[in-house]
Amino acid sequence: MRFCGLFLLLSALTGCLGMPQGVRPVQDFDLQRYLGKWYEIARLDHAFERGLNRVSADYSMKAGGSVRVLNSGYAAADGAWKEAEGTARFAAANDQGYLKVSFFGPFYASYVVFELDPDYRYAFVAGNSTDYLWLLARTPAVPNEVLQRFLERSGKLGFDTAGLIMVEQEQ
């Protein structure tokens, strides 16, 4: 399972917390509203997601207050679905969009929600550096205005928006 294996390796080697300069987590974050399925609309390229389309993440509560993270994507070259299951916890206050996610034991990576639609329809997410960036949405597509805002805001924060992969969500 290449998707899971590479993500586990990456987490083990680079799993650290923090956030890029200028990126700030949203305040008044409501984890209960954030739970559920999110579609990956755009991302920067990484070995652990390379070649995947129809990527989504499903967040649900686990016993003890942590969050189950189930990432899945379709590898067209293999003709198979890939999955990775992890755990997320708040990295700071419970009302900040700053979590830490682990797909491998005690190694955590930052998950920083730096913009969130008031109705929780889309989210801009960063990792611990400008190498990690995602646009997530509750639907497989977003209005052009959302995409343009994502590109503008992310570019101003130093992310390489020219390197973004627009994720195919079609069957």
Q: First-to-last CA distance in the chain?
A: 21
pLDDT digits (tens, 9 = 90+) for 38-58: 999 999 998 889 999 999 999
pLDDT digits (tens, 9 = 90+) for 88-145: 999 999 999 999 999 887 889 999 999 999 999 999 999 999 999 999 999 999 999 9
pLDDT digits (tens, 9 = 90+) for 9-25: 444 444 578 999 999 99
Domains and CATH numbers, the chain: 2-166 (2.40.128.20)
- Report how many helices (DSSP H) and strands (DSSP E) the chain contains, helices first: 3, 9
Res 6 pLDDT > 70? no
Q: What is the pLDDT of residue 60?
A: 98
Residues 6+ apart with CB under 8 A from 142: 41, 122, 135
Q: What is the pLDDT of residue 12?
A: 44
Residue 145: helix, strand or coil by DSSP? Answer: helix
164: left (phi over 0), alpha (psi -120 to 50) or beta: beta
Q: What is the pLDDT of residue 48?
A: 83
Q: What is the pLDDT of residue 5?
A: 43
